[in-house]
Chain A
């Protein structure tokens, strides 16, 4: 690959290849306008005077817009621009497992580039409809509130949504930790997070023995927005590649609200017409094509995605949240109120949904789970009506069902990094089934 660049640049210097060269005519933070570059294709990689890299984002009759992905030095008007005559790709090394990396093949903890890099295309073709098979193998989180009532299967996309500080990331980390010895490769994608947050996550995963099968792919809030925008696509391309080799992969995308905001920022500076809430009209497509990489493939491999969305004041009906809910196969909604009450994980059992349900659960788990969910929701509904009533006046049956509801709520509490096995969950909630039989 490096040979190719040298040859192209050499050619340009010798004036053998003037069609692949151009000059910068306008620069802003994320884009440059280039004149020349006659022989260029859409999405080609370009190099700007050795100072920066980017890809062709739009081709006009007399100019080319280049989106910048890496900038090392200040770009000036008049700088020479070379097209490398190949599709823009990011870099990845299989040694990334157990490391914190970025999309350019850097090992961020060691502070150096890997030396066995391969190219991954960003956001390539979609997975053909007919290559998908049904999602039916379970991916256990070890959290009884999820595995029993809102189960996740390999190849499913399950959204984790809630306000700040409600334990969204924690649920994902718990899930990663619970994949130990289960032959799942995990990729944690950080979008525009702080370096401190990412390092803490890395330490947490290390402490819990989960880093040996996990890649942390990060972009930080002080980097170019284009990089943060591209990071989840690259992570999912890597995941897709592994899936095609029959691996099971779990990808955490933390978080898509940030991603949407970054995409809005880029779109508005590139003069795209804003739509609802000033997001560009194709924001749905931007997320849909990313999350559609999650699937059970006919090769036997799968990509499971847990995207995270941060909400404000518990409102899951805003534009971005509903967009993503309409893409994913279900959602785990976290409630600030439950969190403050100490009911952790702070799942809102009414609003959470799994669209795959028992299809991805063992028979035993689904038997307990579906009854637990029905009882719990009926209890939450009744609770409000009789909250003001005198307990001594309630019928014994009603009183018992309220007591049982309280017990269920209590038994669903679970501390972080303390996963339960399937049989532990079954035993813990076996009373739900017993009562129903008697009744």
Chain B
């Protein structure tokens, strides 16, 4: 059905003079002579419709006639999505045959308070520093925050390895605005280890225009909701990286000449984020446990967009450049990493006390480092010397050989049980390991006393 004619064209938006007043927000339009040009309606007046272009507008002619093709963007909503890889608009990327069975709009609504479920069991990740400082629970949202190049993606990949590869629990991976190379390598890894069956992947990588990048998270959510609501099971959702969604929204706002507030984000950022995060909830049918990488622009932890997303998280792991600089990976800042579970009633008194004591040691260590820079190590009291050396051991102990970084470290990756971590930390703190060289704790799993 022909509905109008294009009168203005920009990089990612067009304006259409409409000849049909049934056009609604969210409708998908297409150029009659070329299906390459597709648009989503975002604003309407009596006579015009403002649309964002789903693909590049390059080569699009003024005066092009458009027709309406759908009531909104849709994503597969059936078992056919398992083991497949999709683009942001729900089209398969793997060049294999795909028969669409049932589709659903990607702009779904959030979960009501009535259906929300908050109780659940603990989820171990096998990564020492996470299980110890920021323990997870099914249904949690865990934010993995870090500046550029401090290891967010590696950590996400390790979590996929430890959680998905061992349990084969239904999982979704959403790649937003990240490197195409990494996306393809992750896909290849999963295919070559024959683990694709229970995984659905959605990609809108950084080489794509902002419209693609902003849509792919919703497309991924439809898949997660299917697994929760229809398959009635638990779901793991990995998002790398949710900041790119806000960034893409800002780019679109800029193109539409909307007023931007601090650091170039649209004033609607908080609303946009809530539309995503509130959908990621657990119900009586199943849990959605999500790990969301959050990029910190310009290493500015207080960035508006970052803080906005963080406020929805049940826990956070913060990666720090200074720790990465020391060669300690995962480069986690233990002072900023925590979760809602760190509570005496939830993880037990022993674990809780150990966390408190470890933080006390490491805080003192930071102060001591400054003293040493001025006076030298010999001037410390014996107690401080103990704290200094034990803290260094702890710091090294929380490095870990990861399965997915075997190629960097040449050390075999290890999954570590929480019980072992608690024992080792206890022994370091109470001085049992005072005579062991600190390097012995560097890149190990659990400590094996000789």
Q: Does A58 interact with chain B (Cβ within 8 Å)? A: yes
Q: Does B80 interact with chain A (Cβ within 8 Å)? A: no
Q: Does A204 interact with chain B (Cβ within 8 Å)? A: no
Q: Which B residues between 177 and 228 are near A, CB-CB below 8 angstroms?
A: 177, 179-181, 183-185, 187-188, 203, 205-210
In the complex with contacts A281-B264, A285-B206, A326-B148, A42-B60 CB distance below 8 A: yes
- Chain A residues within 8 Å of B250, by CB: 275, 281
Q: Does A244 interact with chain B (Cβ within 8 Å)? A: no
In the assembled complex, the Cα of A386 lies from the Cα of B177 at a distance in Å of 44
Q: Does B25 interact with chain A (Cβ within 8 Å)? A: no
Cβ-neighbour of A87 out of B59, B376, B409, B439 (below 8 A): B59
Q: Which B residues between 11 and 31 are near A, CB-CB below 8 angstroms?
A: 11, 15
Q: Which B residues between 366 and 418 are near A, CB-CB below 8 angstroms?
A: 372-373, 375-378, 405, 407-410
Q: Which B residues between 401 and 438 are near A, CB-CB below 8 angstroms?
A: 405, 407-410
Q: Does A50 interact with chain B (Cβ within 8 Å)? A: no
In the complex with contacts A276-B264, A322-B147, A350-B180 CB distance below 8 A: no
In the assembled complex, the Cα of A358 lies from the Cα of B179 at a distance in Å of 19
Q: Does A113 interact with chain B (Cβ within 8 Å)? A: no
Q: Does A145 interact with chain B (Cβ within 8 Å)? A: no
Cβ-neighbour of A358 out of B63, B184, B410 (below 8 A): B410
- Whether B298 contacts A318 by the Cβ 8 Å rule is yes
Q: Which A residues between 265 and 291 are near B, CB-CB below 8 angstroms?
A: 272-276, 279-282, 284-285, 288-289
Closest approach, in angstroms, between the C-beta of B215 and any C-beta of chain A?
15
- Whether A38 contacts B299 by the Cβ 8 Å rule is no
Q: Does A327 interact with chain B (Cβ within 8 Å)? A: yes
- Whether A358 contacts B407 by the Cβ 8 Å rule is yes
Q: SS class of chain B's interface: helix, strand, loop or mixed?
A: mixed
Interface residues of A, CB < 8 Å — how many? 76
Q: SS class of chain A's interface: helix, strand, loop or mixed?
A: mixed
Selected interface stretch from B38-46, B121-129, B251-259, B344-352: B251-259
Q: Which residue on B lies nearest to A363, using beta carbons?
A: B410
Q: Does A313 interact with chain B (Cβ within 8 Å)? A: no
Q: Which residue on A lies nearest to B201, using beta carbons?
A: A129
Q: Does B321 interact with chain A (Cβ within 8 Å)? A: yes
In the assembled complex, the Cα of A357 lies from the Cα of B265 at a distance in Å of 35
Closest approach, in angstroms, between the C-beta of A260 and any C-beta of chain B?
13
- Whether B177 contacts A317 by the Cβ 8 Å rule is no
- Chain A residues within 8 Å of B210, by CB: 282, 285
Selected interface stretch from A92-100, A222-230, A366-374, A415-423: A366-374
- Chain B residues within 8 Å of A282, by CB: 210, 251, 254-255
In the complex with contacts A323-B297, A377-B326, A384-B373, A281-B61 CB distance below 8 A: no
Cβ-neighbour of A58 out of B10, B59, B376 (below 8 A): B10
Q: Which residue on A lies nearest to B185, using beta carbons?
A: A134
Q: Does A111 interact with chain B (Cβ within 8 Å)? A: no
Q: Which residue on A lies nearest to B187, using beta carbons?
A: A129
Closest approach, in angstroms, between the C-beta of A59 and any C-beta of chain B?
4
Closest approach, in angstroms, between the C-beta of A405 and any C-beta of chain B?
13
- Chain A residues within 8 Å of B61, by CB: 39-41
- Whether A129 contacts B297 by the Cβ 8 Å rule is no
Q: Which residue on A lies nearest to B213, using beta carbons?
A: A285
Cβ-neighbour of A276 out of B203, B259, B297 (below 8 A): B297
- Whether B94 contacts A130 by the Cβ 8 Å rule is yes
In the complex with contacts A126-B208, A292-B179, A39-B299 CB distance below 8 A: no
- Whether A330 contacts B185 by the Cβ 8 Å rule is no
Q: Could you give 20 example pairs across A and B, Cβ below 8 Å?
A: A43-B57, A58-B11, A87-B58, A129-B187, A130-B95, A130-B184, A134-B185, A276-B297, A276-B298, A281-B254, A281-B260, A284-B247, A288-B206, A288-B207, A289-B206, A322-B299, A351-B325, A353-B149, A377-B327, A385-B372
Task: Write the residues of chain A forming the contact surface with B, with a CB cutoff of 8 angstroms.
Answer: 38-44, 58-61, 87, 125-130, 132-135, 155, 272-276, 279-282, 284-285, 288-289, 292, 295, 317-319, 321-331, 350-351, 353-359, 366-367, 370-371, 373-374, 377-378, 381, 384-386, 388-389, 393
Task: Write the residues of chain B forming the contact surface with A, with a CB cutoff of 8 angstroms.
Answer: 7-11, 15, 56-63, 93-95, 147-149, 177, 179-181, 183-185, 187-188, 203, 205-210, 247, 250-251, 253-255, 257-260, 263-265, 295, 297-299, 321, 324-327, 372-373, 375-378, 405, 407-410, 439, 442
